[in-house]
Amino acid sequence: MSSPTATARAAGAPAAAPARRSGPSARAARPGRRRSSLAGLWFVLPFAALFAVFLVWPVLAGLWASFTDRSLASPGAEFVGLANWREMLGDSAVWQSLWTTLVFTAISTPPLVAIALAMALLTNRAAAGLGWFLRLSYFAPFLLPVAVVALIWEWMYQPGFGMVNGLLTAAGLAEVAWLTDENTVLAAIAVTTVWWTVGFNFLLYLAALQGIPAYVYEAAALDGAGAWQRFLRITLPLLRRTTGLIVLLQIVASLKLFDQAYIMTNGSGGPGYAARPAIGYIFEAGFTGLRIGYASAISYLLFAVIAVVSLVQFRLFSRKGETA
Amino acid sequence: MSAAIRTPRPPAAPGRPAPAAARPRRLPRPTPGGVLAAVLGVFLAVVWLMPLVWAVLTSLKPEAETTAVPLRWLPLEPTFAAYQAVIERGDLQRWLLNSVVVSVLVTALTLVVCVLAAYACSKTEFPGRSWLFALFVAGILVPPQALIVPLFDQMSVLGMVDTYWGVALPQVVAPVMVFILKRFFDAIPRDYEEAARLDGAGHLRVLWSVVVPMSGPVLAAVGIFTFVQAWNNFLWPFVATADPALMTVPVGLGTVQGSYGIQYAQEMAAAVLGALPLIAVFLLFQRHVVRGVTDAGLK
């Protein structure tokens, strides 16, 4: 059974061997000559211990805390049943912050996918001498710490001497109070986020594009397919799996919005809390309001949203994502 | 830079022509489409670089010039005064040191702990192996950001708030890395490992002398991504440290802005200095990053 794998390895494609994707069945297919031993247990122990202490335990403790009035200010805690959950359902700030998160996800994801694809297509077509310049320019912002990104963009959004408004006035348009207007603050943060993180998606798309063999296009060109046809009929379908992965990673990342929104509004949540995402509200309830129990309940609401979105997407894309 | 994106290894289709290798040999024939793509590509690149250029130019201005209306791109009197002021203040050096300590700690521990766990799940049998691995995979679904409050609560119980360990250890729990590494280890044929075992090598020996040398790119990728993530992490270090002496670069720059007043040149100088280490790391290891992305099957 090991010989096909060895061939794949010799062909230089360790990551592409399809048999490996189905973990349990591949394992079952191997002859079970390996003796069960405790050695593996020792190897897995350090990670398992950290996993238990810093992941499993907080997950369970948070669930328990959500049924108590536990506070950061006092040691004791009393069981309050569903009080936190009931309060949460009636707390408009919870729903506003969740709505803000969803709006941010909805406005940031499409450009983060489309611009990344455009960048990858342009780089893939570019003459060899230009490629490195495009790769560096598109990817560089991704390397910046969030605080640096936030500093640069806060500065660019400044009225009067900021670059964005400078360009607007140069074009004869009116200035916009980007970060201090309820209607623009979330969009301004979304633009910053797109600029900052699109490079990673670009890299994934570029790697996928370079994996498409040229003969596929040559064959299509012989059949008389134009550039647009080739893009629609070949490139897009072959990129479907990559697109699925990018969309999934992107939506989950956007649902966890906090850092840039917090820094760019100086922790205020923005005018009218228009830029306070779900994690922003959890942070406030827990660390400013000191209510661990209540913050935990909201955490679980967000956790549930993220888990449901991931699972739905995973099913959607694993069903039709067999190509490429 | 020209080798930044390595051609991904061909998906198992032996004997097919290697297009990317053949392309540079062909003389570039400028087609209208190619020219248009180049123009658009460069335009987009300029747009993407503009904020960075703007930040660097601002950092080179005397403070009085930074708020001039209408705005002016080039500094009239370029000066390193802002950099000097930031360096003399000393905060940034402290934050950089903290970031190095935390990121190196997180990266080293993640590599050791996750490689051991992935090896155990891939190459050994022990009671409960499959359910334990399933639990790890389920852990990928848990968003650490959403659990920030219970996690902090846990850390205060353990007395780890305001310590390097408190900042670093929760970041070491990266089930996705175990998953990626296990998938890679699974692809290593058993023959190698069995030959070593017949020669009397123990598991640690097999891991170190057989599996690790065959996993260079994926280990580099896991290491670099962990480092970048730890370096750029904001929320957890922000929550886990109240002591300014323990702040990392993102936390320091993100929260102590007030101490710079409205000295934009200094803010931008601090931003540029804070971004440099990671850009240097990336330039050093960029080949591995891109190859690792491909090899890790993220493509």
Q: Which positions ≥6 away from A21 have C-beta within 8 Å? A: none
* Structure token digits, residue B57: 């130019």
CB A288 within 8 A of CB B148: no
- In three-state secondary structure terms, A266 is coil
A6-61 pLDDT per residue, tens: 333 333 334 433 444 444 444 444 444 455 677 888 889 999 999 999 999 999 99
Question: Does position A5 have pLDDT exceeding 50, yes or no?
Answer: no
Cβ-contact A17, B187 below 8 angstroms:
yes
Tens-place pLDDT, residues A96-153: 999 999 999 999 999 999 999 999 999 988 777 788 889 889 988 988 888 889 988 9
Rounded Cα–Cα distance for residues B51 and A198 (Å): 15
SS3 (DSSP) at A76: coil
- Tell me the domain boundaries of chain B: 97-256
Instruction: Indicate the length of chain A as a whole number.
Output: 324
Instruction: Please answer yes or no on whether B146 and A130 come within 8 Å at the CB atom.
Output: no
pLDDT in tens, B152-187: 988 888 889 899 999 999 999 999 899 989 988 888
**A34–B125 C-beta distance less than 8 A:** yes
**pTM of structure:** 0.82
**Shortest Cα distance, chain B CAs vs residue A163, angstroms:** 7
Q: Can you tell me the distance from the alpha carbon of A187 to that of A149, in angstroms, rounded to the nearest whole number? A: 16
**Can you state the percent helix, strand and coil of chain B, rounding each to 5?**
75, 0, 25
Q: Select from A13, A40, A227 the Cβ nearest to the Cβ of B10.
A: A13
Whether residue B123 contacts residue B185, with contact meaning beta carbons closer than 8 Å, is answered with: yes
Instruction: State which amino acid sits at residue A57.
Output: W
Q: How many domains does chain A have?
A: 1
Residue-range definition of the domain harbouring residue A310: 57-319
Average pLDDT over residues B77-103: 89
A chain contacts of residue B11, beta-carbon cutoff 8 Å: 13, 16, 211
Contact A19, A7 (CB under 8 A): no
Q: Which of A9, A43, A51 shows the shortest C-beta gap to B187?
A: A9
Distance from CA of B189 to the nearest CA of A (A): 6
- A124 in a structural domain: yes
For B62, B86, B97, the CA distances from B90, given in Å and listed in that order, are 20, 7, 11
Any domain includes A8: no
What is the residue-averaged pLDDT of chain A? 82
- CATH code (residue A234): 1.10.3720.10
Superfamily of the domain at B97-256: MetI-like (1.10.3720.10)
Residue A9: inside a domain, yes or no?
A: no
Question: CA of A187, closest CA in chain B: separation in Å?
Answer: 17
Cβ contact, residue pair A11, B50, below 8 Å: no
| Helices B175-186 & B129-139 angle (0-180, nearest 10) | 130
ipTM given for this complex:
0.80
Tally: H helices and E strands in chain B: 16, 0
Using the beta-carbon criterion (under 8 Å), do B126 and A252 form an inter-chain contact?
no
Query: Looking at the domain assignment, is residue A324 inside a domain?
Result: no
Considering the domain boundaries, does residue A39 fall inside one?
no
Close Cβ partners of B143 (under 8 Å, ≥ 6 residues apart):
A252, A255, A256, A302, A303, A306
